[in-house]
Amino acid sequence: MEQHNRFWRIAFLILPLAVFGLFVVWPLFSSFYYSFTNWNGFDPDYRFVGFDNFAKIATDRLFLQAAINTTIWMAAAIVLPTALGLMLALLLDSRVAGARVFKSIFYLPICLSAVIVGQIWTWIYQPDWGLLNTVIAQVTGDKFNYPWLAKPDSALWSVIVAWSWQQTGLSMVIYLAGLTAIPGDLLEVCEIEGASPWQRFRRVVLPLLAPSTVVVVALSVINSLKGFDILYIMTGGGPFNSSDTLAMHMYNESFKKYLMGYGSAISVVLFLIALAIIGLYFRQLRKVDRIYG
């Protein structure tokens, strides 16, 4: 019987493993391989250049800019949806009128693809007739046509706002689930003991939401690492590379400058960064499991 089960396990794993190997493992190792070459994507006669591509990274001005932007992007992508999601969850958990409708409305953006969200926000930011500038002009009474996505100072932050708008619903739902798991009598005890709402939140609710926070933060990190499409749609890394992230920089070097070898080296660095972050996440997850599991 055991042998019979083993056979079926292997049989059902063949196809997914083949797909995973073909589309994940093989390209990964290919990137490692090409990062040591000067391949341009077309030419079969490329040569090995050792660590030249990695040495170039150290002196690449645009890589540095992209690394700074990636740090800002990730920090904001973790903090904003997490904080906003928690706030919304607390508000909607306190039995406000129409909470179910609001929950659906706030969750809706996560159902949209990043491309659609990017397009919606591109229209909102449109300088001449976009919603944002129209509202500002109505409020101030002056003509206002600031090009949010075309200025280096505001392009990245404008995309971060759009990203947070989409991701907040997900954090909210996870926190709402976490809140229902908090025993009602515990909160009652707090009230009887005379704890203020802030003390109740800070000392009881927030610590008990720790497992939810780990999930929310982990999802935010993973999603932000994948956050290429919305940037591509809204700014394409522009204007003049000012909103480039490492993923965007890798794309530009590989596909616009035809420097596949160098682009692969950037992807290797990006992979190592992602690996370190995911390693930290798993360590944290184990810690939470030990405490609550």
Partner 1 sequence: MTRISRRGVLLGSLAVPMLGMVRLAWAQSGEVTISHYFTGELGLKAFNEQVAKFTEATGVAMKDSPVGHEDFKTDILVRAAGNSLPDVFSYWAGARVQFIVDSSALHPIDEMWAANGLDAVIAKPVADSATLYNGKRYLVPFNYHYAGMFYNVKVLADAGMTAPPATWDEFLALCETLKGKGVAPIALGSKNRWPAQFWFDYLLLRTAGPDYRAKLMAGEAKYSDPEVGAALAMWKDLFDKGYFVENANADDWTDASDKVARGEAAMTLMGTWITGYWNGNGLVPGQDYDFFEFPRVADGVPNAAVGPVDGLVIAANAANVAGAEQFLSFMVSDAGVQAAWANAQGALSANVNVDPTIYNVVMQKAAATVAAADAFAFNYDLSTPPPVAEVGLSMFTRFIDDPSQAEAILAQVATDAEAAFKE
How far, in Å, CA of 3 to CA of 290, rounded?
Answer: 34
When the beta carbons of 109 and 130 are compared against partner 1, the nearer one is 130
Q: How many CB atoms lie within 10 A of CB 244?
A: 27
Which residue number, 115 or 206, has a Cβ lying nearer to partner 1? 115
Q: Which CB sits closer to partner 1, 127 or 211?
A: 127
41 contacts 218 by C-beta, under 8 angstroms: no
Least Å from the CB of residue 109 to partner 1? 24
Closer CB to partner 1, residue 7 or residue 48?
7
Query: In angstroms, rounded to a whole number, what is the distance separating the alpha carbons of residues 270 and 13?
Result: 29
* Residue 259, amino acid: L
241: left (phi over 0), alpha (psi -120 to 50) or beta: left
Among 285, 288, 273, 282, smallest CA distance to 73 is for 273
Which is nearer to partner 1, 43 or 191 (by Cβ)? 43
User: And the tokens for 242?
Assistant: 């000012």
Q: How far is the CB of 98 from partner 1 (least distance, A)?
A: 38
- Choice between 106 and 251, CB closer to partner 1: 251
Q: To the nearest whole angstrom, how small is the minimum distance from the Cβ of residue 14 to partner 1?
A: 6
Q: How far is the CB of 99 from partner 1 (least distance, A)?
A: 39
Cβ 22 to partner 1, closest distance in Å?
A: 10
Q: 208 to each of 94, 185, 213, 217, how far by Cα in Å? A: 17, 14, 10, 15
Task: Between 8 and 198, name the residue whose CB sits nearer to partner 1.
Answer: 8
Burial of 271: CB neighbours in 10 Å, binned 0-12, 13-18, 19+: middle
Least separation in angstroms between residue 256's CB and partner 1 is: 5
CB closer to partner 1, 240 vs 292: 240
Q: Which position has the token pair 């409305």?
A: 105
Contact 178, 255 (CB under 8 A): no
Q: How many whole angstroms separate alpha carbon 134 and alpha carbon 141?
A: 10
Tell the residue number behind the tokens 């794309």, with chain if given.
251
For residue 43, the minimal CB distance to partner 1 (Å) is 4
- Residues of this chain that bind partner 1 (CB under 8 A): 7-8, 11, 14-15, 40-45, 126-128, 145, 147, 149-152, 236, 238-241, 251-252, 254-260
- Write out the two tokens for 210: 């720790």
Quote the least distance from Cβ 12 to partner 1, whole Å. 8
